[in-house]
Amino acid sequence: MGEPNQAVETQSVYEEGALKIKRLTPAQVVFMVVGCGIGSGCLGTAYAARLSGLPVLIFWFVVTGILTLFSMMYVAESALRTKTLVQLPGLAYRYLGKSGAVLIFLAVAINSIGCMIAYFSGSGSVLNALIGVPEWVGTIMFLIPAAGLGWFGLKAIGAGNQVISVGMIIMLATLTIASFLSKNGDVQRLFQSDWGFAIPVFNVAAFSYIGQYLVPDLARGLSHDPKKLAPAISLGQLLVFIMLCVVPIGVFFITPTNDMTQVATIAWGRALGNWALYAANTFALCAMLTSYWPISNTLLTSTVDMFNLRSDTETKTRLPLTLVIVAIPLFLVLSGAVGFVDAVYFAGTFAGAIMAILPIFMLRSARKKGEIEPEWNCGWMAHPVIQGIIIVMYIGTMIYAILGAFGLLPKGW
């Protein structure tokens, strides 16, 4: 009889605000992290690293994966110390003040819109390669299921990601095995590198992992069992790391550098044959879809949180926000203003830096001002040396990106 009573007590610690609590299982949390991480970043990294080489990319996947996980854990502990469950801007406002909330909201918006630009652009290219429709038609075709399921919110997104992510893992394993069995592969391409192009690749790798904005939604979903939040996030990030590595390994092995496409699965599929063209690009569409859902929902709930709107579930709030969230990236893609990899790069640079650094100061404040002493905390992950490394790495790459934009340093691709 002790376990059910404990569950009730744990649930009663946290309260709903404008953002409603929709229960998630730990498995759904894992696959929401996977779905969020395996998106446009996964598909753009091979092209972005074609000059630097695979070893550079894998190195940055390890580094940025660890640093992002630490940063996500800072957000998780901050959320678990807060009685009323809010989104990232709400946490930043509570613990860093108005300027912190504005910076975090801008980071969420820049990253989310950058992601959606990449999804709309990438889906158009993929469907053009698969069925020959014009790219703008492919973008609209992708938008229908993307915005359709996203309308139903966190619970539907969690269930959808769980189902589709399993299928993605199966497709990815099949394509990878086929690549290494192909006579057209070249193992030497896996070991070629040029570290002179390494720093720009950091930003693309960092973008692939960005998930701090997702954590408060996951904390809401597991508020009935908060001890399982950190393990579920960690497992999700481990799966993301494995899948992020597998895609460019397969692409580099089977595809010469000059033949790489911005959406990696197009070149990957062409190199393996017609069946693989459909399989690889179906994987790409699933990756973009499962990433679009949590990211668009997070932008919506962050907007509700930032501007103190009444509720994230009321139609009169949700409908206009959904239309605006869709319209901005759709316009930028259809007008040709922003490309796939450039969207990934700049979103990763600026949004990634803000969302990696500010949670450090958010956590420090939450430990002083938080209302709840949670059952779990970051422990050694919040060591000042680790936090210092995060600050130096992300500020450094942001400076590099600015200098690169003015042509003072190589862009990387």
The predicted-structure confidence for 120-176, as pLDDT tens digits, reads as follows: 888 888 898 888 899 999 999 998 988 887 777 667 777 777 788 888 888 888 988
pTM of structure: 0.83
Determine the structural domain holding residue 53 and report its residue range.
Answer: 22-405
Residues 353 and 394: beta-carbon distance below 8 Å? yes
The pLDDT, as a whole number, for residue 4 is 43
Q: Is 346 helix (H, G, I), strand (E, B) or coil?
A: helix
Name residue 392's beta-bridge partners.
none
CA angle 289, 290, 296 (to 5 degrees): 80
The reply to whether 17 falls in a domain is no
Band of residue 8 on the pLDDT scale cut at 50, 70, 90: very low
- CA atoms of 16 and 323, how far apart (whole Å): 25
The reply to whether 413 falls in a domain is no
- CA atoms of 138 and 150, how far apart (whole Å): 19
The pLDDT, as a whole number, for residue 413 is 54
Residue 9 has pLDDT above 50, yes or no: no
Angle between helices 352-369 and 198-209 (to 10 degrees): 50
The reply to whether 412 falls in a domain is no
Q: Is 85 helix (H, G, I), strand (E, B) or coil?
A: coil
Q: How many separate domains does the chain show?
A: 1
The reply to whether 411 falls in a domain is no
Name residue 15's beta-bridge partners.
84
Spatial CA neighbour of 171 closest among 275, 260, 270: 275
The pLDDT, as a whole number, for residue 340 is 53
Find all residues with CB under 8 Å of 244, minimum gap 6, and list them. 37, 38, 41, 42, 45, 61, 65, 205, 208, 209
Q: Is 15 helix (H, G, I), strand (E, B) or coil?
A: strand
Angle between helices 315-334 and 274-306 (to 10 degrees): 130
Average pLDDT over residues 20-29: 86
Label each residue of 266-311 as H, E or C.
HHHHHHHCHHHHHHHHHHHHHHHHHHHHHHHHHHHHHHHHHCCCCC
The pLDDT, as a whole number, for residue 339 is 55
Place of tokens 């801008």: 106
Average pLDDT over residues 64-85: 93
Cβ atoms within 10 Å of 400's Cβ, excluding its own: 20
- CA atoms of 357 and 360, how far apart (whole Å): 6
The reply to whether 137 falls in a domain is yes
Containing H/E element for 215? helix 215-221
- CA atoms of 222 and 346, how far apart (whole Å): 32
The reply to whether 235 falls in a domain is yes
- CA atoms of 187 and 180, how far apart (whole Å): 9
Spatial CA neighbour of 209 closest among 57, 36, 413: 36
Per-residue burial over 262-298, b if 16 or more Cβ lie within 10 Å, else e, is bbbbbbbbbbbeeebbebbbbbbbbbbbbbbbbbbbb
Q: Is 84 helix (H, G, I), strand (E, B) or coil?
A: strand
Spatial CA neighbour of 57 closest among 210, 252, 234, 287: 252
- CA atoms of 145 and 141, how far apart (whole Å): 8
For residue 325, report the phi and psi dihedrals to the nearest 5 degrees. Answer: -60, -35
The pLDDT, as a whole number, for residue 264 is 78
The predicted-structure confidence for 203-231, as pLDDT tens digits, reads as follows: 778 777 878 888 998 988 898 898 999 99
Spatial CA neighbour of 29 closest among 178, 291, 222, 317: 222
Residues 46 and 247: beta-carbon distance below 8 Å? yes
Average pLDDT over residues 256-268: 81
262: domain CATH number? 1.20.1740.10
The reply to whether 69 falls in a domain is yes
- CA atoms of 69 and 66, how far apart (whole Å): 5
The predicted-structure confidence for 346-362, as pLDDT tens digits, reads as follows: 665 777 788 889 999 99
The reply to whether 29 falls in a domain is yes
Q: What percent of the chain has pLDDT over 70?
A: 92
- CA atoms of 10 and 363, how far apart (whole Å): 21
Residue 11 has pLDDT above 60, yes or no: no
Cβ atoms within 10 Å of 316's Cβ, excluding its own: 10
Does 225 or 265 have the greater pLDDT score?
Answer: 225
Residue 13 has pLDDT above 60, yes or no: yes
- CA atoms of 98 and 380, how far apart (whole Å): 29
